Chain A
C-alpha cells in the first residue's frame, strides 16, 4: 500500500513539474520521464503533459519530447493528434535541423491517423532546399510505404523518390536508393526500382562521393542490374567498382566483391582474370578486422572459395589460426584450409592440423582431427600421410582425439577400400577407450568390413554385444558380415545378436533389419552374401559448403545474413506457417500403378529456394508396373548395400545418406488402397525444417491428381556447420520401396 502511494506520488510530482512555469524545471522533468522510460517504467500516463512541452525553441527539449512520442505514440493514438499541429509547424521551421527532425519523427510514429496529415509536408520536404531535409524525407517515404503503400502511390511520393535519383547531392541519392530498394522488395511486381542506363550513370557518379554507408546501398543495388550484352557497360561498372576494394570499410569491400563476382560473367576473360587477381588481397585483409567482421568475412570467403578456389590458392597460410582467435573464427578458418588444401601444401597443412589437435578447446580439436580425415579423402596421393598423422594422434591416447580419429578413419576406409588395413590393429587396441556412439559404430563397421583380416574379430564383436544399444544397427550388420566371412566361428554370435535384435529392441528399424537378415540368411545365404557384402561405392570428398544452385543465389547476397547462414534468403526470418511444402501427385495409370508425376515443394512460390533442386526428374520415378517390378529386384541389393554402409539407427530413409544424425522424417503421402502410393520425405537438417502438422491425403484413385500442402516450420534439428542440401525421399507402394535422394553433393556420409 505504502508503495503504491509512493508510485502515485512520483507520477503526481512529475505531472506537476511538467506543468511548471519554469522552463528549466520542465526540461529537467522531461529528462526524468525519459530516464524512467529508459529503465523500462511505463510513463505513458504522462502523455498529454509531456506533449505540452513540445512547442519550444530548445532543440534538446524538443528532441526529448519527440523521443517520448516515438515510444508511446502507438499506445495513445488518440492523443497523438494533439501533437500533430506542432509537428506541422516544425516542418516549416527556418532551421533545417528542425524540419528534418519533425519529418523523421513523424515517420517513426507508426500511427495510421497521422499519415494523412503527413502527406502535404512530406511532399514539400522531398523538394526542400536543404539536402539534409531531403535525405531524411527520402527514408520517410519508405516508412510510410511500410504502413500504407497505396497512399504513397496516390500522392506521387514514389515518383518523387524516383526523381531523387537525379539529385545533385550524393547523400540524398544514397537514401533514395535505400528507400526505393526497400519499397521494391516489398512489391517487386510494381517495378518501382529498375536501374536503367541513365540511372546507372548517376549511381556510379554518386558512388564516388557519398558516405561509406551510402556506397554500400548503391553497390547492393548494382547487384541486381543486368548490363546490356555486348556493350562496354559491364566492364565500365567493374572498373568503377574495383576501386572500392581499397575502402577501409569492410562492408564496402564485401559489397564490392559481390558486385564484381556477379559481373565476372559479363566481361571478357582478360578483365575477369584481372578482377580475380585484384580481389585476393582485400579478402585477405578482411582477416585483420575485428573478430565479428572476420567471422562474416570468413563465412563469405568459404562461399567464394567454393566457386573460385584459385582466388586464394596461394594464400592458405593466412587461414592458419591464431592462438587468440575466438572459436567461431577458428572453425571457419579450418573450413577454408580444407577448401584450399592441395598436394603442394598438404605437408604444411598436416603439421598445422597436428598442432591444432593438441590444443585445449575440445570442439576445435575434434574438427581438426576430422579435417585430417577430410584431407585424406580429398587428396588421393596424400592419404597415406594423413593416415600416419591420425595414427600418431591415436597414440596420444587423448580420449576425444581417439574417438574422432576412429570416426574419420572409417571414412578414409570407405574412400580407399582395402588400402590401409595395416592400421586396423592400432584401432582395435583402443577398443575399450571408445565410449561415444559414433566412434563405437565406426569401429564396429570397420570390424565387420574387414572381419576376415582380423584374427580375433569374434572377440571384438562379442565385446560390443555387451553394450548392444546405440551402435546396434552397425553392430547387427557387422555381425552378419562376420558370419558370412567366417561362417564357422561366428554362428553362435550371429544367432545371439539376431535374437537380441528381434526380441529385445524397441527400435522398429533395427528389428526390421534383423528380420531381413535372418530371412536372407536362412533362405539363401548366397543372396545374403550378395546383398550384405556388396561392393560399396567410394565416398567423395566434401569440398562444397552448399549446393551449386544455392551458391548462385548466395553470391547475390554476399555480406548478408543469408550468406552468413549459408541458407536461402527466402528462409530467413520466416515464421513456420509461411513455408509450405506443396505436393501434387497424379495417378495416370488406368490400372494398378501410381505415378508420381511431380513433387513440388515451394517456399512462397520459389522452388529452388527451399529445396534447391530440380525436381520432377523422371528417371527416379517409377512409371509402369513392369519396370517397377524389375527395378525393385535390383533395388534391393542396392538398398541393402547402402544400408550396410550407413547402418544408421534411425530409419531406412536416413540410410540413404548414411548419416548417424536423426532426421525429421515426414510421411507425405500414405496409401489406404492397394494401388496407392506412399510418399515420404525428410528434409535434412541443414534448414532445420520440420513439419508442423501431420499430413493426411485421401487415397489416390486412377487418373487422379491430389495436391497437398504441408506447413513446415524451422524448429527441426539444426546441425551447425556444413549444411547438407539434400532432400531424401522414399516412395513406397505395393510393389516396392524406392528411396532416392536429390543429391546436392552431400557428403554427410562422412560425418
Chain B
C-alpha cells in the first residue's frame, strides 16, 4: 500500500517541493522520471500513469495544470490508493490556495510541508478531509488564541465533522445534477447513453445532526411493497456514497442516513443507462465538392419536454484543419469559427424542447492536400436544462434530527447537463456533379 516519497514537479521535471516518507529510495531517483515520460511519448504513446525504471522503482503520477504530482515506490504498493491520494492532495491544496500552480506552491511551501506531514505518515494516508485539516493547520496560526489541538474529528468515527457547530438558521441545499454521457455513431445509432448523477449538498446545520434522505428509489419501493402508484421510481444501477453515509444500513434496508460534513460536499453519485431519446440530437450532412470546398448542413433538435428549455447550448462541429474562408447561415443563435479548435461553434442561448434548428456552413479548402489522414473528432454538444432530470429522480424527503430539536429547511434544485456528449461525424459525401454544373 505504501509509497516512499511524494514530489510536485513542473513540466520540465524540476522538483518544486517533495517529501520523503520512508527514506528507502534515494530522492535523486526522481531524475529518472522525466526521461521515462519522454521516452513513452516519443513512441507515439501517452505515457501511462504507472511507469517503472529498469531497477524496479515505480512512479505513479497525475498531471494538474502545469504540474506533475508524483509518488514513487519500490514495493507492490496499492496503485489505486496512491493515485487517489495524489488526486486528494490536489483537491486539498486547491481548497487551501484556491488554485494549485507553481506560484501557489512557492508562496505556501511552509503550509504544504505541514499538510504533507499530516495527510500521510510513513507512506500511509491519514487525515485527508480538508475541512478538518483546516481546523488545525491554518495559514494564520498566529490568529489562534490558544495552541491548535487535533480536532476530535481526526480520530473519531465521524472523522469529517467537528462538534459544536452553530447556525442561526439551519438550512440544507440539495443540488441534483445529472450529466448525460452519449455516444452516437455516424449512422445515427446510439452506442451508449448513460446518466451520471450526483447529489451535492450544502449543509449549514448546527450540532451533530442525523440526516435521512428519501429518494424515489425503485429497489426501496419494491422491498417496502410500495407499488409504482406513488409516481415513477428510478432504478439506479450503481450508487456511490460519501464516506459519511452508513453503508451497512443502506445495504440492509436502502436507507440513506448520515451525519453530514459541514458546508459543501458530494453526498452521493449514481449511474444508470437510459433508453430515452438523446436530449439534443444533431444530424450532419457534409458535402465536399471536388476537394475544393466543403459544406455542412447541421440540424439540431431538442428532444425533451416542451415546457423545459436548454440553456447555453453549444454545438461544436469539427472541420478540416486547413479549411478557410468560413461562411455561415442560420436563423437561430450565433455561429463562429474557432480555428484553435478547428471547429464551428454554434451557440444557442435558449433552446426550447421540441424545436429544431438548422445551420449551414461553407468552407474553402486549399488545393494542396496534406498527407496526414483526417482527424475525425465527433460533434460535441454542451447544454444545461434546469428543473429537469432525465432519470426522473426525486428527493422525497430530507429529515434532519438533532438533539437540540431545531427545525431545518431543505432546498432542492434539479439540473441536467451534458457529460461526454458525442455524435460521430458522417463521412463527407463527394459531390462532383455540382461542380460540373458550376462550370
Contact = CB atoms under 8 A, between A and B. Distances in A.
B149 A95 contact: yes
A41 to B, nearest CB: 12
B418 interface: no
B81 A97 contact: no
> Which 6 residue pairs spanning A and B have beta carbons closest together?
A281-B238, A573-B74, A243-B251, A131-B155, A292-B49, A251-B80
Contact of B422 (A64, A212, A322, A327): A322
Interface string A671-705: 00000000000000000000000000000000000
A244 B246 CA distance: 10
Interface in B106-134: 109-110, 113-114, 117, 121-122, 124-128
Contacts of A251: 78, 80-81, 84
B15 A250 contact: no
Contacts of A38: 16-17, 109
A397 B188 CA distance: 26
A136 to B, nearest CB: 7
Contact of B192 (A31, A40, A318, A565): A318
Nearest to A688: B54
A398 interface: yes
A561 B50 contact: yes
B241 interface: yes
Contacts, number: 258
B242 interface: yes
B76 A572 contact: yes
B117 A216 contact: no
Given A95-B149, A352-B191, A213 B125 contact: yes
Contacts of A534: none
A373 interface: no
B46 A326 contact: yes
Contacts of B74: 572-573
Contacts of B368: none
Given A57-B147, A211-B127, A328 B46 contact: yes
Interface stretch (A226-234, A282-290, A429-437, A464-472): A282-290
A542 interface: no
A35 B17 CA distance: 10
Given A211-B243, A320-B192, A561 B77 contact: yes
B56 A35 contact: no
A19 B52 CA distance: 45
B248 A243 contact: yes
Interface string A322-359: 11101110000000000000000000100110010011
Contact of B76 (A98, A142, A562): A562
Interface stretch (B336-344, B350-358, B372-380): B372-380
A22 to B, nearest CB: 15
Interface in A8-60: 31, 34-35, 38, 40, 57-60
A620 interface: no
A142 B73 CA distance: 17
B332 interface: no
A292 B62 contact: yes
B400 interface: no
18 contacts: A132-B150, A142-B122, A213-B85, A217-B124, A242-B251, A243-B251, A246-B240, A246-B250, A255-B78, A282-B240, A292-B60, A295-B48, A296-B79, A348-B191, A572-B75, A573-B56, A573-B75, A575-B56
A208 B148 contact: no
Contacts of A706: none
Contact of B83 (A172, A181, A247, A296): A296
A107 interface: yes
Given A60-B110, A361-B44, A564-B79, A285 B147 contact: no
B56 A714 contact: yes
Interface in B216-262: 237-243, 246-248, 250-251
A734 interface: no
A247 B250 CA distance: 11
Contacts of B65: none
A290 B61 CA distance: 12
B433 to A, nearest CB: 24
Contact of A172 (B52, B155, B194): B155
Contacts of A131: 155
Contact of B56 (A110, A318, A574): A574
A561 B78 CA distance: 6
Given A172-B155, A249-B243, A291-B49, 12 more contacts: A31-B110, A97-B150, A170-B157, A178-B124, A248-B240, A251-B84, A281-B238, A318-B194, A360-B373, A360-B375, A561-B77, A573-B57
Nearest to B120: A213
A524 to B, nearest CB: 48
Interface in A99-136: 100, 104, 107-108, 110, 130-132, 135-136
A454 interface: no
B114 to A, nearest CB: 6
Given A573-B58, A715-B54, A60 B141 contact: yes
Contacts of B117: 63, 67, 104
Interface of A: 31, 34-35, 38, 40, 57-60, 63-64, 67, 70-71, 74, 95-98, 100, 104, 107-108, 110, 130-132, 135-136, 139, 142-143, 146, 169-172, 175, 178, 181-182, 208-213, 216-217, 220, 239-240, 242-244, 246-251, 253-255, 281-282, 284-285, 288, 290-293, 295-297, 317-318, 320, 322-324, 326-328, 348, 351-352, 355, 358-363, 398, 557, 559-565, 569, 572-576, 714-715
Contacts of A352: 185, 191
Interface residues of B, number: 95
Nearest to A332: B48
A398 B46 contact: no
Contacts of B126: 135, 213
Contacts of A175: 124
A59 B192 contact: no
B48 A328 contact: yes
A292 B83 contact: yes
B424 interface: yes
A348 B20 CA distance: 50
A70 B147 CA distance: 23
Nearest to A134: B155
A288 to B, nearest CB: 6
Contacts of B84: 249-251, 293
Contact of B80 (A247, A250, A562, A576): A250
Contacts of A171: 154-155, 159
Contacts of A104: 117, 121
B420 interface: yes
Given A170-B157, A320-B183, A564-B50, A327 B45 contact: yes
Given A139-B124, A293-B84, A296-B83, A209 B240 contact: no
Contacts of A563: 79
B405 interface: no
A323 B49 contact: no
B355 to A, nearest CB: 27
Contacts of A328: 45-49
Nearest to A213: B125
B180 interface: no
B113 A288 contact: no
A247 B243 CA distance: 7
B271 interface: yes
B2 interface: yes
A130 B124 contact: no
Contact of B78 (A35, A71, A216, A351): A216
A322 B183 contact: yes
Interface string B191-229: 110101000000000000000000000000000000000
Contacts of A247: 240-241, 243, 247
Interface centre among B58, B124, B155 (most CB of A within 10 A): B155
Contacts of B110: 31, 34, 60, 64
Contact of B1 (A146, A220, A296, A562): A220
Interface in B129-149: 136, 141, 147-149
